Structure 1
């Protein structure tokens, strides 16, 4: 088994060199195959399983290849398998792959039954070899399979082909939009520990000073920037300063208050929630999105991901914090639109769902609550795995699971 060579910090880009056009793999997929992409967005390997005869099949079809039944379900399967054949693509008519050759691919016999076509990690030995197969999203947002070694080296995440399918923060420049809240500070610390080159941290009205300023400045590679997501001029000014070198943007700005629709007097709080949680997100996307999309293939300095931290109650309103849930639902819809707009540039949009956070605004709620450090760790995990949707904490995982089962039942449960 060859070991992955640790990634070297990329040099500064030569300004005279042309920025490559952001190309993506062919995006076309059948409706059946898109279900695998939906599972890959959550880093879950699922394959079609016939409910009538139990046959597990790949690739996706509209009917069972064994008994022709159309009663098919997507079921999680074991990633274990054996590489039985391999080849290396050295030339391609597809522009995306032509710029990235050589590219290893192989045929893997899964323990679950089917034989699949997968990309091969550099540490996977020659066939036959035991492997683990996991789903990833390519830069067009579609599912691909990658075979990883059963036991990898410490630097295996830096494999060239694997890094192309993820948004690993190592040696990348990251903007965290709000360092005043505990989540923003925890995320900045986690990104620094994960090897980010620079962590820009936005602070609204930084000239006023704040108690946690020294805490932020003590984190290696952190630079404090003036950023107020409610002020279009502030957002555009920062984009003009660092937009061309922001590889990952993580929006931690949030305005949360208790109360629903009738339980509040007026709409002032709701206006603030929408201004920060929804319009702030849109301002960031409009200012930073076009440049990030243009830089989706900027060699070793390419832009890779736009991350937004959401409440799990974006999926179904929680009346105790109903106004905040409304703003989160609108933000989730905005992210779905942004995902489609950034996809041609190969930029991944990640939605990270949390339950109530361990901070002053949820002080009166009983446990369980999510610690900011847990959210920060999940951000790094999502970037390294290249997922689109990830839930943090027991409450968020439970809400997402129940929403998938029956949204109407969840609505009534939360209403009680």
Structure 2
């Protein structure tokens, strides 16, 4: 039975900070298909279009009929543990620091046998549910968990390495003036996290201020586009932050031809893109260096993007472009933070139920729903999540017919 997590002890400031060792990261290009599924929280394997067999390990051709048509397909996640072992000695630096470590062979209901990391409540012969998780190196691995919930199931020591659970961690929410930032801060506090909430221009009143200040959050001055403001806060608490949730927003309707000058476009890029740059340069290095602090470790950087970062919406055309620039920057940051075992999580949402989308008809995403999605993404250890009907529809259409999405959102004449 898994023992519940206990609050971590305060770190000794005189002790040397360990460098983050990473699990083996070598993968073939075909194996990156599994990484794609794990990043989205799906359990999927290659499936042959000819003989319909599920294929594992990932291959270029089907071992049964030699077909090359092996598409990534959602698969049944049930299975049975056919053997298990506990490793106490290894030459690998990452696992040597985390011994003992349990692994086993799982016979999947869909056919293949896979080597999987084992949850503490899973034993030889048990039926299990198999998931694809991203390990600290950002690669997909199999993880076997009990088929039915067990006490403290989400606090297993090995499972904790695969996710970014916010419990007991210190989290910075960068913009507490927005409804989304306030909802995210409240949701994180309910998980047991210590929450710092950034407020720009604290002298200026804003909706929800009284409730935010009455909560047990730590209010801190933070104006993301102001480099000095960001660096001063990072100098104060940058070494403490385990999870950063970037809730910066600056939404204005209009496309290129709606702007007679570049003033609004410059504001969008300053608030969103340059704000992201300031936050990353100030807080990123400390998070990168603290990936090996176990329960005290830096764990994740979370961005909340409009889904139109993937498909420009001409009604909010320049805002979509600024979001796309931030998305590109997040991929750079993901690669840089991966060396410290810190994951970058991107949430994509359609129109939210806030003032700048007031005149749009439903469906819209409520701030509380978006905050709940942030918690779910951290607890599952995914890298990408689409929130709401609009975002999920655009995601699917981008796979099926990206040109139709472009026409739909850039055509103002229909």
Coarse TM-score class (shorter-chain normalised): over 0.9
Equivalent residue for 2:211, pick from 210, 215, 221: 215
- Look up the SS of the partner of 1:87 in the other structure: strand
Provide the rounded CA distance (Å) in 1 between the counterparts of 2:334 and 2:399: 21
- After the TM superposition, which segments of 4 or more aligned residues of structure 1 sit over 4 Å from their partners? none
Alignment of structure 1 residues 379-390 onto 2, 5 Å: 379-390=374-385
- Look up the SS of the partner of 1:190 in the other structure: helix
Equivalent residue for 1:228, pick from 210, 214, 223: 223
Deviates more, 1:271-280 or 1:164-173: 271-280
Provide the rounded CA distance (Å) in 2 between the counterparts of 1:26 and 1:345: 14
1:240 aligns to what? 235
Aligned-pair distance for 1:413?
1.5
2:119 aligns to what? 121
- TM-score norm. by structure 1 comes to 0.97
The verdict on how the C-alpha distance between 1:317 and 1:211 changes in structure 2, with shifts beyond 3 A counting, is: closer
Aligned-pair distance for 1:190?
0.3
- Look up the SS of the partner of 1:61 in the other structure: coil
Alignment of structure 1 residues 296-375 onto 2, 5 Å: 296-375=291-370
The verdict on how the C-alpha distance between 1:241 and 1:266 changes in structure 2, with shifts beyond 3 A counting, is: same
1:98 aligns to what? 96
Does residue 151 of the first structure (1) align with residue 148 of the second (2)?
yes
Aligned-pair distance for 1:154?
4.2
Deviates more, 1:248-257 or 1:403-412: 403-412
Aligned-pair distance for 1:165?
0.4
Aligned-pair distance for 1:239?
0.6
Deviates more, 1:15-24 or 1:332-341: 15-24
CA contact (8 A) 1:85 1:107 kept: yes
CA contact (8 A) 1:83 1:108 kept: yes
Equivalent residue for 2:273, pick from 266, 273, 278: 278
C-alpha offsets along residues 161-207 of structure 1, whole Å, 9 cap, x if unaligned?
A: 001000000000000000000000000000001110x1000000113
1:184 aligns to what? 181
Instruction: List gaps (5 residues or longer) in structure 2.
Output: none
- TM-score norm. by structure 2 comes to 0.98
Provide the rounded CA distance (Å) in 2 between the counterparts of 1:150 and 1:395: 32
CA contact (8 A) 2:177 2:207 kept: no
Aligned length: 411
Instruction: List gaps (5 residues or longer) in structure 1.
Output: none
Alignment of structure 1 residues 377-416 onto 2, 5 Å: 377-416=372-411
CA contact (8 A) 1:192 1:219 kept: no
Does residue 172 of the first structure (1) align with residue 169 of the second (2)?
yes
2:66 aligns to what? 68
Provide the rounded CA distance (Å) in 2 between the counterparts of 1:395 and 1:48: 28
2:199 aligns to what? 203
1:253 aligns to what? 248
The verdict on how the C-alpha distance between 1:396 and 1:139 changes in structure 2, with shifts beyond 3 A counting, is: same
- Look up the SS of the partner of 1:257 in the other structure: coil
Aligned-pair distance for 1:209?
4.1
CA RMSD of aligned residues (A): 1.0
- Look up the SS of the partner of 1:108 in the other structure: strand
Aligned-pair distance for 1:211?
4.3
2:27 aligns to what? 29
Provide the rounded CA distance (Å) in 1 between the counterparts of 2:299 and 2:25: 18
Provide the rounded CA distance (Å) in 1 between the counterparts of 2:62 and 2:294: 42
C-alpha offsets along residues 14-34 of structure 1, whole Å, 9 cap, x if unaligned?
A: 112211101111111100001
- Look up the SS of the partner of 1:398 in the other structure: helix
